[in-house]
Copies of this chain bind each other. A is one copy, B any other.
Amino acid sequence: MEVKLSLFGFGNVGKTVARVLLEKEAFFRERYGVEFKVVSIADTSGTVWLPEGIDLREALTVKETFGKLSAWTNDYEVYNFTPKEAVQEIDADIVIDVTNDKNAHEWHLTALRDEKAVVTSNKPPLAFHYAELREEAEKRNIPYLFEATVMAGTPIITLLRHGLRGDTVGRIEAVLNATTTFILSEMEKGLDFDDALKEAQKLGIAERDPSGDILGIDAGYKATILHCLAFEPITFDMASVKGIVEVTPGEIERAKAKGKTIRLVATIEEGRIVVGPKEIPKNSPLAVESHENVAVIKTDLLGKLVIKGAGAGLKETASGVVSDIVMAALMMR
């Protein structure tokens, strides 16, 4: 079965998704009977569109050589579509959003109305428009999948959606942002907040504008998405969010002296989302290190469930995106 993909976003995650589709072509064919054909790729410079399928190897070379797809003028037409126009114009089975477009819910809805599946790693559409998107997807029975929005490819979304159907969730406690874990770990080694942040930026762990991470907004988006799945739809403005900018070396030291560690913890209960720095015993499952994320889920039947895995990284995020692409392909068969 041939499945036509339309890829929006060709930064680090988008390129990694393309690389996985290319390198694991035989795996997808043999294991799932699926052949993926990428019919369009869009970055901020323009949209490359070829109904017969784009040569991913070439696309990656152009992007890496020139930094933008619009430089690719010898074989391919480059279009100046808005994302919405691109969704409408381009014939595809699955629309993949690995952009940071805050208004992407608009073209996600366009895709769903057009009976195209959507796979997204982009969080704001879900954190602000979950109810509308889910309703549109369910009404038309079209896959709307978002595994990579929370804990990268660690399958917390699949687990909550499909793995605990008889259970009633009571509470989720989770560490959902790896940048803050890195900064807090560096502070434990003696750096103050500003120096720890600079170190994170130097290593490419924090972005040049780190506010989304250090103010707790990224963790808040993710906690909102988990709430929508475990309980009922809610929006980010209902979350009480505090970042780690006010954590002092003194607080870090006091926690350490008690055998504890500070992490940015999200607590999610029905109708209530709280994100903020919290003292955690060193032997708690929440005391993760490095780029690991963790969620501790408490339910009525199963009791306590822990899922822990990568919460950041390119291959790790692509894992979630590609898992959803395969799932969408199989669901539409």
A-B CB contact pairs (8 Å), 7 listed: A20-B166, A32-B165, A158-B159, A300-B315, A301-B315, A302-B309, A306-B306
Is A208 in the interface zone, CB < 8 Å from B?
Answer: no
Contact B166 A326 (CB under 8 A): yes
The answer to the question of A147 belonging to the interface, with a C-beta cut-off of 8 Å to chain B, is yes
A153 within 8 A of B: yes
> Considering the chains assembled together, what is the distance between the CA atoms of A154 and B152 in angstroms?
21
Given contacts A147-B163, A166-B318, A304-B310, could you give 12 more A-B pairs where the C-beta distance is less than 8 Å? A153-B164, A153-B167, A155-B159, A155-B305, A162-B327, A165-B322, A166-B323, A166-B326, A167-B319, A302-B310, A305-B308, A307-B307
Q: Is A250 on the interface with B (CB-CB < 8 A)?
A: no
The chain B residue sitting closest to A152, CB to CB, is B302
Which of A20, A27, A153, A313 is the most central at the interface, judged by chain B CB atoms within 10 Å of its CB? A153
Q: How many residues of A contact B (CB 8 A)?
A: 43
Binary interface encoding of chain A residues 286-320 relative to chain B, with 1 for a CB under 8 A from any of its CBs, else 0 = 00000000000001111111111110010110110
Known A159-B159, A301-B318, A316-B301; judge A166-B325 contact (CB<8 A).
yes
Q: Are A20 and B316 in contact (CB under 8 A)?
A: no
A46 part of interface (Cβ distance < 8 Å): no
**A285 sits at the interface (CB 8 A):** yes
Provide the residues of chain B in CB contact with A61, threshold 8 Å. none
Q: Assess the A323–B167 pair: CB atoms within 8 A.
A: yes
Q: How far is the CB of A289 from chain B (nearest CB, A)?
A: 11
Give the nearest-CB partner of A322 in chain B. Answer: B166
A103 lies within 8 A of chain B by Cβ: no
The listed residue with most B CB atoms (<10 A of its CB), out of A147, A158, A163, A168, is: A163
CB distance from A150 to the nearest CB of B (A): 12
A24 at the interface (CB under 8 A from B): yes
Q: Are B153 and A159 in contact (CB under 8 A)?
A: no
How far is it, in angstroms, between the C-alpha of A303 and the C-alpha of B312 when the chains are bound?
11
Once the chains are docked, how many angstroms separate the CA of A159 from the CA of B167?
A: 16
Q: How far is it, in angstroms, between the C-alpha of A167 and the C-alpha of B163 when the chains are bound?
A: 19
A323 touches B154 (CB 8 A): no
Give Cα A306–Cα B155 distance, bound, in whole angstroms.
11
